[in-house]
């Protein structure tokens, strides 16, 4: 047993407390929480002192494309659209191999950790070598991601993604060949093999688990969708990110993407719909009635001019809101949290459509639910209740500490610090009770900028 002592903390089921002592068992799970506890010099051996600031559960990044980080600051010069951005993304994706993908993912996961993230759902679709031929070790790309997460100290849910068509009714394009598995049986066979490899190579302590994803209704034919009702674990899908996607689906199938997924039997409480930006009232009802999770990615949706999704309406309909950083145009969980509320204010002309407690739940336990982590792992009976945020006994000690005395946070009420701070104000990050980041630097990998220097050296950006 060991203890950490925090000046202030956010405790389940969503309340603020002062002078909180957290007792950890040998596995880094919270064994006890004591409020009003007297600090001691030995209370936080890794920090060497009582930890000032505000402790929250580690942020959960429910939607990530790791290699998209390589595009940061490289796609803004001539405006463009989502579709022109995608062409640049394909150019980078074509250069990935297991070795350079490991280095790139290690850097991005390390940056996530220093920003306060302790878990990530990696929506992964670059499965094969360029041209679509499997690597000699057919799961080399997935194993590279798993190793990068282990080395970075972040929990990884590898969302193994099915990508079969370039658009509805069209074959994969040349730049998409390495994403595909031929048909749904090819995907299911490869996915089952990946599950076996990960089970053989990893222990629960490694913090890597497997889920699946439907890339989109553009990339997976309607006839293949029902198969995902039988694939275990969390299921994610890009949903109605662009009006063009809805228009193509209506033209091909006579229904919206949400309606198509519902007809296939996959709109349930294990589904996470990513973006969910352009929905009809019926779409919102279907997702809410199913208690699906919605993964909003505010900084990416703003960067790509996707639009503002109906987050409040979805929450009121019964869906659970979570947050992701998607293409990592910035990596700051507090900016994603504020971006959710800012979108609501801009779109609807009203402040406070999400309370601070609801925003923090979206950043933490909403993501846990999306990725089937912690208390929100899918129960055997299918129950997966809506989350309430906060540190709790029985949960891994995944904790981020936000400074309360920085130029950005000074004077803020404790429960509103997340509305003023940025990732720069994250002073300490613990994963299963182990200190993995301190004052912006990774405790084992060192400065993140040096990791990026090594990663970027492997890529030709054509400029």
CA-to-CA distance for 369 and 348, rounded, in angstroms?
A: 27
- Residue 389 — pLDDT band, cuts 50, 70, 90? confident
Mean of the per-residue pLDDT values for the chain?
A: 93
Mean pLDDT score, 351-380: 87
Comparison of pLDDT for 332 and 50, the residue scoring more: 332
Asked if the model's pLDDT at residue 192 lies above 50, the reply is yes
Q: Is the pLDDT of residue 381 over 50?
A: no
Q: What is the Cα–Cα distance from 207 to 381, expressed in whole angstroms? A: 24
Q: What separation, in Å, do the N-terminal and C-terminal C-alpha atoms of the chain show?
A: 54
Note the helical H segments in 79-204. Answer: 82-93, 98-115, 140-152, 184-201
Nearest alpha carbon to residue 371 among 299, 238, 276, 270: 270
CA–CA separation, 7 vs 25, rounded Å? 21
With 80 as the cut, is the pLDDT of residue 45 above it?
no
The reported pLDDT for the residue numbered 247 is: 98
> 393 or 376, which is more confident?
393
**pLDDT tens-place string over residues 291-329:** 999 999 999 999 989 999 999 999 999 999 999 999 999
Residues 49 and 4: their CA atoms lie apart, in Å, by 9
Q: 385 pLDDT band (50/70/90 cuts)?
A: low
Q: What percent of the chain has pLDDT over 70?
A: 94
Of 68-82, 391-405, 420-434, the poorest mean pLDDT is in 68-82
Q: What is the pTM of this model?
A: 0.95
266: closest CA among 312, 313, 222, 218? 222
Show Cβ contacts of residue 281 under 8 Å, excluding neighbours closer than 6 positions: none
Q: What is the pLDDT of residue 430?
A: 97
User: Quick one: CA dihedral 261, 323, 122, 230, positive or negative?
Assistant: negative
Residue 313: Cβ-neighbour burial (10 angstroms; 0-12, 13-18, 19+): middle
How would you class 99 by CB atoms within 10 Å of its CB: exposed for 0-12, middle for 13-18, buried for 19 or more? Answer: exposed
Predicted pLDDT of residue 463: 66
What does the block give as tokens for 362?
A: 């979206």
* pLDDT number for residue 49: 54
- Mean local confidence (pLDDT), 357-379: 87
Mean pLDDT of 127-148: 97
Residue 161 in contact with residue 125, Cβ under 8 Å? Answer: yes
pLDDT tens digits for 70-94? Answer: 999 888 777 777 777 778 888 889 9
Given a cut of 50, whether residue 423 has pLDDT beyond it is yes
Q: What are phi and psi of 202, to 5 degrees?
A: -120, 150
Q: Read off the pLDDT of each residue in 97-119 and give the average, rounded to a whole number.
A: 98
Distance CA 337, CA 353 (A): 13
Residues identified as active-site: 275, 326
Percent of the chain past pLDDT 90, that is, above it, reads 85
Which class for 394: exposed (0-12), middle (13-18), buried (19 or more C-beta within 10 A)? exposed
pLDDT value at position 382?
45
Give 326's strand partners.
Answer: 64
From CA 351, how far away is CA 342, in angstroms rounded? Answer: 8
Are 308 and 339 in contact by the 8 Å Cβ rule? The answer is no
b/e burial code for range 298-310 (CB count within 10 A of at least 16 → b): bbbbbbbebbbbb
Tell me the C-alpha distance between 240 and 284, whole Å.
Answer: 12
């Amino acid at each position: 047993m060991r203890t950490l002592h925090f000046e202030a903390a956010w405790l389940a089921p969503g309340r603020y407390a002062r002078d909180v002592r957290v007792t950890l068992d040998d596995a880094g799970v919270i064994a006890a929480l004591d409020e009003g506890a007297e600090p001691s010099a030995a209370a936080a051996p890794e920090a060497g002192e009582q930890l000032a600031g505000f402790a929250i559960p580690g942020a959960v990044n429910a939607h990530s494309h790791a290699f998209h980080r390589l595009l940061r600051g490289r796609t803004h010069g001539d405006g463009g659209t989502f579709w022109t951005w995608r062409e640049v993304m394909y150019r980078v994706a074509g250069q990935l191999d297991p070795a350079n993908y490991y280095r790139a993912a290690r850097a991005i996961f390390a940056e996530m950790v220093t920003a306060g993230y302790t878990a990530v759902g990696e929506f992964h679709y670059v499965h094969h070598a360029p041209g679509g031929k499997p690597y000699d070790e057919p799961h080399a790309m997935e194993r590279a991601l798993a190793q990068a997460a282990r080395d970075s100290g972040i929990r990884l849910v590898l969302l193994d993604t099915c990508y079969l068509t370039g658009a509805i009714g069209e074959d994969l394009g040349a730049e998409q060949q390495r994403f595909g598995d031929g048909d749904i049986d090819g995907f299911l066979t490869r996915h089952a093999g990946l599950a076996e490899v990960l089970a053989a190579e990893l222990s629960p302590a490694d913090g890597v688990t497997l889920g699946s994803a439907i890339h989109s209704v553009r990339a997976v034919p309607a006839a293949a969708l029902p198969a995902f009702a039988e694939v275990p674990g969390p299921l994610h899908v890009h949903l109605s990110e662009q009006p063009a996607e809805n228009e193509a689906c209506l033209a091909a199938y006579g229904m919206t993407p949400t309606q198509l997924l519902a007809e296939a039997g996959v709109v349930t409480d294990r589904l996470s719909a990513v973006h969910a930006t352009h929905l009809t009232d019926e779409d919102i009802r279907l997702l809410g009635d199913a208690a699906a999770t919605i993964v909003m990615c505010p900084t990416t949706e703003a960067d790509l001019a996707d639009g503002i999704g109906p987050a409040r309406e979805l929450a009121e309909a019964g869906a659970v809101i979570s947050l992701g950083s998607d293409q990592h145009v910035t990596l700051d969980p507090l900016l994603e949290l504020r971006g959710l509320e800012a979108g609501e204010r801009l779109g609807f002309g009203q402040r406070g459509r999400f309370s601070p407690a609801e925003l923090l739940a979206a950043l933490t336990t909403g993501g846990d639910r999306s990725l089937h982590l912690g208390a929100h792992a899918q129960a055997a009976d299918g129950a997966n209740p809506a989350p309430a945020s906060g540190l709790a006994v029985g949960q891994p000690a995944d904790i981020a500490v936000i400074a309360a005395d920085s130029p950005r946070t000074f004077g803020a009420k404790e429960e509103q610090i997340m509305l003023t701070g940025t990732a720069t104000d994250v002073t300490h990050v613990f994963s299963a009770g182990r200190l993995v980041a301190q004052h912006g630097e990774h405790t084992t990998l060192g400065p993140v900028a040096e990791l990026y220097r090594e990663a970027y050296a492997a890529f030709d950006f054509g400029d």
